[in-house]
Amino acid sequence: MNSNSPKFKRNRFMQKAVITACSILLTSTLIAQEEPPQLNVILDIDALYTPLESKPIHGDTAVKLLNELETKHYSSIDIDDNFSSIVFDSYIDALDGSKLYFLKEDIDQLSAYRYTLDNSLKDGSVEPGFEIYNVYYKRILERMIYAVERVENHVGEMDFTIDEAIQIDRENAPYAASLEELDELWRLRIKNSVLSLRLTGDDEQEIIDKLSKRYRNQLSQISKTNDKDIFQTYMATVATAVDPHTSYFSPRDSENFNMGLSLSLQGIGAQLTTEEEYTKVAELIKGGPAERGNELKAGDRIVSIGQGVDGELQDVVGMRLDDVVAQIRGEKGTVVRLNVIPVDAIGESSATVVSITRDTVKLEDQSAKKEVIELSYNGEIFKVGIIDLPTFYFDFEAASRGDADFKSSTRDVHALLDELKEEDVDAVVVDLRNNGGGSLSEANQLVGLFIETGATVQIRYSGLRNGFTRSFGDSDPEVAYTGPLAVLVNRTSASASEIFAGAIQDYQRGIVLGGQTFGKGTVQEIIPMDYGQVKLTRSKFYRISGESTQHRGVIPDISFPDFYDAYEDIGESSLDGALPWDTVRAVEYTPYHAIQALVPELQQRYDARAQKSPDFIYLRDQIERARVMRQREQLSLNELEVKQEREENRRIEFDAENMRRLLKGLTLNEWVEDPNAEEQEQELVAISDTAPADESVEDAVEEEEEEEEEGDPLLLESGRILADFISLNSNRVSSVSPGNTPQNR
């Protein structure tokens, strides 16, 4: 895939992470950094390239890793020729998934290892992994030398008036048959980088200086590759070949990974991974500075980093992930500036600078929160309580100390429900969008707030306890809330969120709304080793209905348009090697309401509103535009064509937003003609058609308040569906009264 593409690669999210310790959480205080790259690094492949060799500890660790995989993994693992072939393909793809470094002849020669890696690993040899990497190591050094020479000597020759294009996604492209063919791929690739900087307003010398520094930095970083890097990459690939959530961490990467499990985090609160030469934001930590700022997004790619409010932006494209992390970490209260390519943008010409003040990510910042929204329904005001739960948290340390007020998502939600009942809400929505999970016991207990007693989840263990399935449930008959309930989810609602949503759906205790959930229905365990540690899948979740949450996730009763619909490669089902969906025996349970019987009528009423809703029309258009953008196969290198296309896209987005505002009776935005005014290009200034110029600031403030009053359209529609539900239930459900006959859904 082209480095400027915003695409999430199929399983590349997992594969690229293994190169440098999977995702590293940006936490802790600033650590000592390595010396800065030398920009006068010699451009001589013979001087730079020295094959790297393994050490005895590497072979010993490989044997122990295989033993852990074979004896403790949930699935039955056969270390055979098929396993070897999977490892070979995954390793090659992790190193060069875009086919920009290896030549076809390299792959042909290395294919001799396709069916022998299993035997080598069993014998305690990782030499094949090192030999494959050494070929890649030499090729990537050659490419960086080519890039430096191309930038420093040929930028002035580039013609941006001719019709040339660069292929966006090279995952399925063939490997170059010759060095000349590879040079041509890189000529176009470098030309695209030059064009991106031209479109930001840089002159020729500025472009040469920036790109020369970038590629020389990359060359310097790559030349520091050591045996630990290769071993980590190879062993992580071996582990990930079993399933995408199993991985190996070397001692250094174990330290970084374990740091990420802390509940008190100091930094910007983000997880990073690598994709091609870019460092990419994999996830924002709920309650962290980055998430609170609402500017940095998952999928954004970092181009450069600046320290403080005015420190020079330093290019980090191609830099090792741990070195990027070292630049972003810092003391609480200090500012770091990230120049990022937004997830929905294509090239560096769309990059924006995001300023983040480092802080401590505290457990209370991730706590459940509530609000009450009001909407008109059949001429009456309908009050809906919203509980936003960002994660299923539990302060184990405080609880073990015996603290009476330890933090717990269940305890917090219980208190919020009591407050909402005092406010006399008509219904409650539990918002689990973007909730990636957390404590299993908390998910179990949270279900218990809405049911009397009963099972909430089943867990099937394998390995040493092959085939044993155990159900967990709520034994406390107290019900914190008995009224109408909805659960709002999306594609990034995962794990514990899926357990909660699945149980509420199976019991027909509430209506599940939104998008299909992630589908992570497996449980991992960290197992220490003499040299590093392995994160191993040990068990699997099942709903009380017997259906696995793995792979398929939870399908909502009523689906909302979800921006993640444009990204077909998000979710467990998109990951290579993901464990399959299956079923176990259902447990006995009793539904609380006849929700499934009402879903057709609820769906019909929702469809009628959604077809006319300005917000839903706009959202569906956005999703479709993103989908079309992601389906593009090429990027033009004709400057005029690129400018025209960018302006057309900006106009389409502007017109769509104004149509939404027109249909809602809001003040229209005014078109900004100057595309070079960065701030104006990033956000449209809203002004009244009749307001004098000197009142623009006041109008902007009023417009901002007006925007705030609009509310989240998905939450508002959730409230309307609950109002429909109450209307369809002649008794206006106000208490839970389970029937007497157990049945399975």
Encode pLDDT of 470-479 as tens digits: 999 999 999 9
Give, in order, the Cα–Cα distances in Å from 745 to each of 300, 514, 554: 41, 20, 14
SS3 535: strand
CATH of 386-591, one of 3.40.50.300, 3.40.50.12500, 3.90.226.10, 3.30.56.10: 3.90.226.10
- What is the residue-averaged pLDDT of the chain? 84
Encode pLDDT of 672-706 as tens digits: 875 544 433 343 333 333 333 344 444 444 444 44
Encode pLDDT of 297-342 as tens digits: 888 899 989 999 888 888 888 787 778 888 888 888 899 999 998 8
The C-alpha atoms of residue 266 and residue 253 are separated, in whole angstroms, by: 18
Look at 730 and 366; give whichever has higher pLDDT: 366
**Active-site residue list:** 495, 506, 520
**% of the chain beyond a pLDDT of 70:** 84
For range 454-465, the mean pLDDT: 82
CATH of 253-361, one of 2.30.42.10, 3.40.30.10, 2.130.10.10, 2.40.40.20: 2.30.42.10
Encode pLDDT of 358-417 as tens digits: 887 665 567 899 999 999 988 889 999 999 999 998 887 778 888 888 889 999 999 999
Burial 635-650 (b: 16+ CB within 10 A, else e): bbbbeeebeeebeeee
For range 630-652, the mean pLDDT: 92
Give, in order, the Cα–Cα distances in Å from 333 to each of 294, 336, 361: 18, 10, 12
User: Which amino acid is located at 674 in the chain?
Assistant: D
Q: Could you tell me the residue ranges of all domains in the chain? A: 12-249, 253-361, 386-591
Enter the DSSP assignment of 37: P
Minimal CA–CA distance to 348: which of 310, 304, 293?
Answer: 304
The pLDDT value recorded for residue 463 is 53
- Find the farthest-apart pair of alpha carbons in the chain and give their distance in angstroms, rounded: 83
The C-alpha atoms of residue 344 and residue 301 are separated, in whole angstroms, by: 10
Encode pLDDT of 252-271 as tens digits: 776 655 544 433 334 788 87
The C-alpha atoms of residue 324 and residue 301 are separated, in whole angstroms, by: 12
> Given the structure tokens 């769509």, which residue do they identify?
656
The pLDDT value recorded for residue 346 is 66
Model confidence band, residue 619 (pLDDT cutoffs 50, 70, 90): very high
Contact 423, 467 (CB under 8 A): no
Look at 227 and 288; give whichever has higher pLDDT: 227
Model confidence band, residue 661 (pLDDT cutoffs 50, 70, 90): very high
SS3 523: strand
Encode pLDDT of 61-84 as tens digits: 999 999 999 999 999 899 999 999
The C-alpha atoms of residue 506 and residue 437 are separated, in whole angstroms, by: 19
The pLDDT value recorded for residue 348 is 78
Encode pLDDT of 149-194 as tens digits: 999 999 999 999 999 999 988 989 999 999 999 999 999 999 999 9
